Protein backbone atom coordinates (compact mmCIF):
# COMPACT_ATOMS: atom_id res chain seq x y z
CA UNK A 1 0.00 0.00 0.00
CA UNK A 2 2.25 2.80 1.18
CA UNK A 3 5.95 2.65 0.63
CA UNK A 4 8.28 3.70 3.35
CA UNK A 5 8.94 6.92 1.50
CA UNK A 6 5.28 7.88 1.37
CA UNK A 7 5.00 7.13 5.04
CA UNK A 8 7.87 9.49 5.74
CA UNK A 9 6.15 12.02 3.50
CA UNK A 10 2.97 11.72 5.49
CA UNK A 11 4.83 12.22 8.74
CA UNK A 12 6.63 15.24 7.33
CA UNK A 13 3.36 16.71 6.09
CA UNK A 14 1.81 16.16 9.48
CA UNK A 15 4.64 17.82 11.33
CA UNK A 16 4.34 20.81 8.98
CA UNK A 17 0.67 21.08 9.81
CA UNK A 18 1.48 20.91 13.48
CA UNK A 19 3.87 23.78 13.04
CA UNK A 20 1.23 25.75 11.19
CA UNK A 21 -1.37 25.18 13.83
CA UNK A 22 0.92 25.42 16.79
CA UNK A 23 -0.41 28.95 17.18
CA UNK A 24 -3.55 27.53 18.81
CA UNK A 25 -2.25 28.47 22.20
CA UNK A 26 -3.91 26.99 25.23
CA UNK A 27 -4.43 30.28 27.04
CA UNK A 28 -6.54 31.81 24.26
CA UNK A 29 -10.27 30.99 24.16
CA UNK A 30 -11.11 28.78 21.19
CA UNK A 31 -14.44 29.06 19.32
CA UNK A 32 -15.11 26.84 16.29
CA UNK A 33 -18.00 27.72 13.99
CA UNK A 34 -19.68 24.81 12.16
CA UNK A 35 -21.63 26.34 9.32
CA UNK A 36 -23.81 24.88 6.58
CA UNK A 37 -21.19 25.46 3.93
CA UNK A 38 -18.01 27.32 3.25
CA UNK A 39 -17.74 27.66 -0.50
CA UNK A 40 -20.45 30.27 -1.07
CA UNK A 41 -19.59 33.92 -0.78
CA UNK A 42 -22.31 34.24 1.83
CA UNK A 43 -20.50 31.88 4.19
CA UNK A 44 -17.23 33.53 3.45
CA UNK A 45 -18.79 36.82 4.57
CA UNK A 46 -20.01 35.17 7.77
CA UNK A 47 -16.45 34.01 8.27
CA UNK A 48 -15.16 37.56 7.78
CA UNK A 49 -17.48 38.76 10.54
CA UNK A 50 -16.45 35.89 12.81
CA UNK A 51 -12.76 36.53 12.24
CA UNK A 52 -13.31 40.22 12.92
CA UNK A 53 -14.94 39.49 16.26
CA UNK A 54 -12.22 36.95 17.01
CA UNK A 55 -9.51 39.55 16.44
CA UNK A 56 -11.31 42.19 18.51
CA UNK A 57 -12.04 39.91 21.42
CA UNK A 58 -8.73 38.09 21.28
CA UNK A 59 -10.10 34.56 20.70
CA UNK A 60 -9.12 31.85 18.24
CA UNK A 61 -11.88 31.25 15.69
CA UNK A 62 -12.12 28.48 13.08
CA UNK A 63 -14.82 28.10 10.48
CA UNK A 64 -15.91 25.09 8.46
CA UNK A 65 -18.90 23.48 6.81
CA UNK A 66 -19.76 20.63 4.42
CA UNK A 67 -19.54 20.88 0.63
CA UNK A 68 -23.27 21.11 0.14
CA UNK A 69 -26.35 21.45 2.27
CA UNK A 70 -27.52 17.86 1.93
CA UNK A 71 -24.52 16.43 3.78
CA UNK A 72 -26.14 16.21 7.19
CA UNK A 73 -23.88 13.45 8.46
CA UNK A 74 -20.71 15.21 7.33
CA UNK A 75 -21.71 18.20 9.40
CA UNK A 76 -22.29 15.93 12.40
CA UNK A 77 -18.78 14.53 12.00
CA UNK A 78 -17.43 18.09 11.94
CA UNK A 79 -19.29 18.91 15.11
CA UNK A 80 -17.82 15.77 16.72
CA UNK A 81 -14.29 16.77 15.69
CA UNK A 82 -14.89 20.32 17.01
CA UNK A 83 -16.02 18.95 20.38
CA UNK A 84 -12.88 16.81 20.53
CA UNK A 85 -10.85 20.02 20.53
CA UNK A 86 -12.46 21.05 23.87
CA UNK A 87 -13.52 24.52 22.76
CA UNK A 88 -14.67 27.38 24.99
CA UNK A 89 -17.93 27.63 23.01
CA UNK A 90 -19.32 26.48 19.68
CA UNK A 91 -21.17 28.32 16.94
CA UNK A 92 -23.45 26.03 14.97
CA UNK A 93 -25.81 26.40 12.00
CA UNK A 94 -27.65 23.07 11.81
CA UNK A 95 -28.53 21.43 8.51
CA UNK A 96 -30.83 19.16 10.48
CA UNK A 97 -31.39 20.01 14.13
CA UNK A 98 -32.68 16.59 15.18
CA UNK A 99 -29.65 14.78 13.85
CA UNK A 100 -27.37 16.98 15.93
CA UNK A 101 -29.13 16.53 19.24
CA UNK A 102 -26.92 13.74 20.67
CA UNK A 103 -23.80 15.80 20.08
CA UNK A 104 -25.41 18.98 21.36
CA UNK A 105 -26.31 17.09 24.53
CA UNK A 106 -22.70 16.00 24.76
CA UNK A 107 -21.66 19.66 24.51
CA UNK A 108 -24.16 20.57 27.21
CA UNK A 109 -22.79 17.88 29.51
CA UNK A 110 -19.26 19.15 28.91
CA UNK A 111 -20.45 22.68 29.72
CA UNK A 112 -19.59 23.97 26.27
CA UNK A 113 -22.07 26.74 25.39
CA UNK A 114 -23.63 26.52 21.93
CA UNK A 115 -24.64 29.58 19.93
CA UNK A 116 -26.85 28.92 16.92
CA UNK A 117 -26.51 31.06 13.83
CA UNK A 118 -28.08 31.58 10.41
CA UNK A 119 -31.10 29.28 10.36
CA UNK A 120 -30.47 28.28 13.92
CA UNK A 121 -30.99 25.01 15.76
CA UNK A 122 -34.40 23.56 16.59
CA UNK A 123 -33.68 22.85 20.27
CA UNK A 124 -33.39 24.64 23.58
CA UNK A 125 -29.75 23.73 24.04
CA UNK A 126 -28.33 26.77 22.18
CA UNK A 127 -28.15 29.75 24.51
CA UNK A 128 -28.77 32.20 21.68
CA UNK A 129 -29.50 32.37 17.97
CA UNK A 130 -27.97 34.97 15.68
CA UNK A 131 -29.98 35.03 12.48
CA UNK A 132 -31.95 36.88 9.88
CA UNK A 133 -35.72 36.81 10.12
CA UNK A 134 -36.09 35.10 6.76
CA UNK A 135 -39.90 35.18 6.76
CA UNK A 136 -39.94 38.95 7.23
CA UNK A 137 -37.12 39.45 4.73
CA UNK A 138 -38.87 37.41 2.01
CA UNK A 139 -42.10 39.27 2.73
CA UNK A 140 -40.25 42.52 2.04
CA UNK A 141 -39.11 41.00 -1.26
CA UNK A 142 -42.76 40.23 -2.07
CA UNK A 143 -43.81 43.83 -1.36
CA UNK A 144 -41.03 45.19 -3.53
CA UNK A 145 -41.92 42.75 -6.32
CA UNK A 146 -45.58 43.84 -6.19
CA UNK A 147 -44.58 47.47 -6.35
CA UNK A 148 -42.28 46.85 -9.35
CA UNK A 149 -44.80 44.94 -11.47
CA UNK A 150 -47.66 47.31 -10.70
CA UNK A 151 -49.60 45.13 -8.30
CA UNK A 152 -50.89 42.52 -10.72
CA UNK A 153 -49.79 39.65 -12.96
CA UNK A 154 -47.96 36.33 -12.68
CA UNK A 155 -44.77 35.71 -10.76
CA UNK A 156 -42.62 32.63 -10.09
CA UNK A 157 -40.16 31.54 -7.39
CA UNK A 158 -36.84 29.78 -8.01
CA UNK A 159 -35.94 28.47 -4.57
CA UNK A 160 -32.68 26.90 -3.45
CA UNK A 161 -34.11 23.95 -1.61
CA UNK A 162 -37.27 22.53 -0.17
CA UNK A 163 -35.98 21.03 3.07
CA UNK A 164 -33.85 23.59 4.86
CA UNK A 165 -35.25 26.24 7.19
CA UNK A 166 -34.02 29.14 5.04
CA UNK A 167 -35.41 27.61 1.87
CA UNK A 168 -38.78 27.01 3.41
CA UNK A 169 -38.99 30.40 5.21
CA UNK A 170 -37.99 32.48 2.21
CA UNK A 171 -40.41 30.64 -0.04
CA UNK A 172 -43.27 30.84 2.44
CA UNK A 173 -42.49 34.42 3.48
CA UNK A 174 -42.72 35.51 -0.15
CA UNK A 175 -45.71 33.39 -1.18
CA UNK A 176 -47.78 34.15 1.94
CA UNK A 177 -47.26 37.91 1.69
CA UNK A 178 -48.34 37.82 -1.98
CA UNK A 179 -51.49 35.89 -1.02
CA UNK A 180 -52.35 38.14 1.92
CA UNK A 181 -51.58 41.59 0.58
CA UNK A 182 -51.50 41.39 -3.21
CA UNK A 183 -54.61 39.53 -4.39
CA UNK A 184 -54.08 40.40 -8.06
CA UNK A 185 -50.74 38.69 -8.21
CA UNK A 186 -50.55 34.95 -8.83
CA UNK A 187 -47.55 32.75 -7.96
CA UNK A 188 -47.71 30.37 -10.92
CA UNK A 189 -44.91 28.04 -9.99
CA UNK A 190 -42.23 27.30 -7.40
CA UNK A 191 -39.20 25.37 -8.64
CA UNK A 192 -36.07 24.19 -6.82
CA UNK A 193 -32.57 24.50 -8.25
CA UNK A 194 -30.50 23.51 -5.22
CA UNK A 195 -28.83 26.95 -5.30
CA UNK A 196 -26.91 25.71 -8.33
CA UNK A 197 -26.32 28.45 -10.93
CA UNK A 198 -26.70 26.23 -13.95
CA UNK A 199 -29.72 24.29 -12.74
CA UNK A 200 -31.46 27.52 -11.76
CA UNK A 201 -30.71 28.96 -15.19
CA UNK A 202 -32.34 25.99 -16.91
CA UNK A 203 -35.32 26.17 -14.56
CA UNK A 204 -35.79 29.87 -15.29
CA UNK A 205 -35.74 29.29 -19.05
CA UNK A 206 -38.28 26.53 -18.68
CA UNK A 207 -40.54 28.81 -16.59
CA UNK A 208 -40.27 31.56 -19.21
CA UNK A 209 -41.12 29.12 -21.99
CA UNK A 210 -44.12 27.79 -20.12
CA UNK A 211 -45.36 31.25 -19.03
CA UNK A 212 -44.47 33.86 -21.65
CA UNK A 213 -46.63 36.45 -19.88
CA UNK A 214 -44.81 36.17 -16.56
CA UNK A 215 -43.91 39.48 -14.96
CA UNK A 216 -41.47 38.68 -12.20
CA UNK A 217 -39.23 35.98 -10.74
CA UNK A 218 -37.81 35.75 -7.21
CA UNK A 219 -34.57 33.86 -6.64
CA UNK A 220 -34.23 32.83 -3.00
CA UNK A 221 -30.46 32.78 -2.57
CA UNK A 222 -27.31 33.86 -4.31
CA UNK A 223 -27.03 30.88 -6.65
CA UNK A 224 -30.74 30.85 -7.48
CA UNK A 225 -30.84 34.59 -8.13
CA UNK A 226 -27.85 34.49 -10.47
CA UNK A 227 -29.40 31.52 -12.24
CA UNK A 228 -32.58 33.53 -12.74
CA UNK A 229 -30.59 36.47 -14.11
CA UNK A 230 -28.73 34.18 -16.54
CA UNK A 231 -31.93 32.49 -17.65
CA UNK A 232 -33.67 35.81 -18.26
CA UNK A 233 -30.64 37.14 -20.16
CA UNK A 234 -30.36 34.01 -22.34
CA UNK A 235 -34.01 33.98 -23.31
CA UNK A 236 -34.11 37.77 -23.77
CA UNK A 237 -37.33 38.17 -21.79
CA UNK A 238 -38.42 41.37 -20.03
CA UNK A 239 -38.99 40.25 -16.48
CA UNK A 240 -38.57 41.87 -13.08
CA UNK A 241 -35.97 39.88 -11.17
CA UNK A 242 -35.74 40.09 -7.41
CA UNK A 243 -32.81 38.40 -5.71
CA UNK A 244 -31.57 37.47 -2.27
CA UNK A 245 -28.13 37.86 -0.71
CA UNK A 246 -25.31 39.51 -2.64
CA UNK A 247 -22.11 38.50 -4.41
CA UNK A 248 -20.33 40.11 -7.33
CA UNK A 249 -22.58 38.74 -10.06
CA UNK A 250 -25.74 39.85 -8.30
CA UNK A 251 -24.35 43.32 -7.62
CA UNK A 252 -23.35 43.69 -11.26
CA UNK A 253 -26.79 42.56 -12.39
CA UNK A 254 -28.37 45.24 -10.22
CA UNK A 255 -26.02 47.92 -11.52
CA UNK A 256 -26.79 46.86 -15.10
CA UNK A 257 -30.50 46.88 -14.39
CA UNK A 258 -31.08 43.21 -15.21
CA UNK A 259 -32.03 42.64 -11.60
CA UNK A 260 -34.39 45.13 -10.02
CA UNK A 261 -33.08 44.68 -6.52
CA UNK A 262 -32.40 42.16 -3.80
CA UNK A 263 -32.71 41.45 -0.12
CA UNK A 264 -29.44 41.26 1.69
CA UNK A 265 -28.94 39.70 5.03
CA UNK A 266 -26.12 40.88 7.16
CA UNK A 267 -23.77 37.89 6.97
CA UNK A 268 -20.85 39.79 8.41
CA UNK A 269 -23.10 40.71 11.31
CA UNK A 270 -24.18 37.09 11.74
CA UNK A 271 -20.59 35.93 12.06
CA UNK A 272 -19.67 38.81 14.33
CA UNK A 273 -22.64 38.46 16.67
CA UNK A 274 -22.21 34.66 16.88
CA UNK A 275 -18.64 34.90 18.08
CA UNK A 276 -19.46 37.80 20.40
CA UNK A 277 -22.30 35.84 22.00
CA UNK A 278 -20.14 32.71 22.19
CA UNK A 279 -17.38 34.53 24.04
CA UNK A 280 -19.86 36.13 26.40
CA UNK A 281 -21.46 32.77 27.12
CA UNK A 282 -18.06 31.15 27.66
CA UNK A 283 -17.29 33.80 30.27
CA UNK A 284 -20.57 33.02 32.00
CA UNK A 285 -22.33 36.25 31.00
CA UNK A 286 -25.99 36.12 30.00
CA UNK A 287 -26.76 36.51 26.32
CA UNK A 288 -29.88 37.62 24.52
CA UNK A 289 -31.89 34.64 23.29
CA UNK A 290 -32.70 35.97 19.81
CA UNK A 291 -30.13 38.17 18.14
CA UNK A 292 -31.69 39.71 15.04
CA UNK A 293 -28.88 40.50 12.70
CA UNK A 294 -31.12 42.41 10.31
CA UNK A 295 -31.75 42.59 6.57
CA UNK A 296 -31.94 45.30 3.91
CA UNK A 297 -33.51 45.92 0.51
CA UNK A 298 -30.98 47.24 -1.95
CA UNK A 299 -31.22 48.32 -5.56
CA UNK A 300 -29.45 50.60 -8.03
CA UNK A 301 -30.24 53.68 -5.96
CA UNK A 302 -28.72 52.66 -2.65
CA UNK A 303 -26.19 49.99 -3.54
CA UNK A 304 -23.29 52.34 -2.87
CA UNK A 305 -24.60 53.77 0.38
CA UNK A 306 -22.05 53.06 3.10
CA UNK A 307 -24.67 51.39 5.27
CA UNK A 308 -25.53 48.91 2.48
CA UNK A 309 -22.11 48.34 0.96
CA UNK A 310 -20.79 47.38 4.40
CA UNK A 311 -22.99 44.27 4.45
CA UNK A 312 -22.60 43.34 0.78
CA UNK A 313 -19.86 40.98 -0.26
CA UNK A 314 -18.29 40.06 -3.55
Partner 1 sequence: MSARESGLGGNAQQKLLAFASLIVLVIGFSLASPNFFQVSNIMAILQATSVNGVLAVGVTLIIITGGIDLSIGTLMTFCAVMTGVVLTWLGMPLPLGVLTAVGTGALCGFVSGGLVARMKIPPFIATLGMMLVLKGLSLIVTGTKPIYFNDTPGFTTIAQGSLIGQIIPLPVPNGVLVLFIVAGVAAWILGRTVLGRYTFALGSNEEAVRLSGVNTEFWKIAIYTLAGAICGIAGLLIASRLNSAQPALGLGYELEAIAAVVIGGTSLSGGRGTILGTLIGALIMSVLTNGLRVLSVAPEWQTVVTGAIIIVAVYADQMRRRGRS
Residue ranges that bind partner 1, judged by CB under 8 A: 1-3, 6-7, 9-11, 13-15, 17-18, 20-21, 24, 32, 38, 62, 64-65, 67, 69-73, 76-78, 80-86, 96, 98-99, 101-102, 106, 161-163, 192
User: What is the Cα–Cα distance from 93 to 253, expressed in whole angstroms?
Assistant: 29
Q: Which is nearer to partner 1, 101 or 308 (CB)?
A: 101
The residue count for the chain: 314
Alpha-carbon Rg for the chain in angstroms: 21
Q: Which is nearer to partner 1, 17 or 210 (CB)?
A: 17
Residue (160 or 251) nearer to partner 1, CB: 160
Cβ proximity to partner 1: between 82 and 121 the closer is: 82
Q: What is the smallest separation between the CB atom of 89 and partner 1, expressed in angstroms?
A: 16
Q: Minimum distance from CB of 23 to partner 1 (Å)?
A: 10
Nearest CA to 31 among 284, 239, 279?
Answer: 279
CB hemisphere CA count around 299 (13 angstroms) = 13
CB of 264 to partner 1, least distance (A): 25
Residue 113 beta carbon to partner 1: minimum distance, rounded to whole angstroms: 18
Classify the C-alpha dihedral 299-227-174-65 as positive or negative.
negative
DSSP-derived 3-state class of residue 216: strand
| Minimum CB distance to partner 1, residue 7 (Å) | 5
Secondary-structure breakdown of the chain: helix, strand, coil percentages, each rounded to the nearest 5? 50, 20, 35
Which residue number, 74 or 154, has a Cβ lying nearer to partner 1?
74
Amino acid sequence: MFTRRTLLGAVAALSLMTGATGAVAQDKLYVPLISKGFQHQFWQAVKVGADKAGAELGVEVTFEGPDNESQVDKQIDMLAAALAKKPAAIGFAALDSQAAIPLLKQAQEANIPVIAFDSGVDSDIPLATASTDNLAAAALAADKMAELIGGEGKVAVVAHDQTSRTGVDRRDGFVNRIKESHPNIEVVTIEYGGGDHLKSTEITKAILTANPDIKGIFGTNEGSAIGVVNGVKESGAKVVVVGYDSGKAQKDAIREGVMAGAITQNPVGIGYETVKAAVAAAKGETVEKNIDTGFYWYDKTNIDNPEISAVLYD
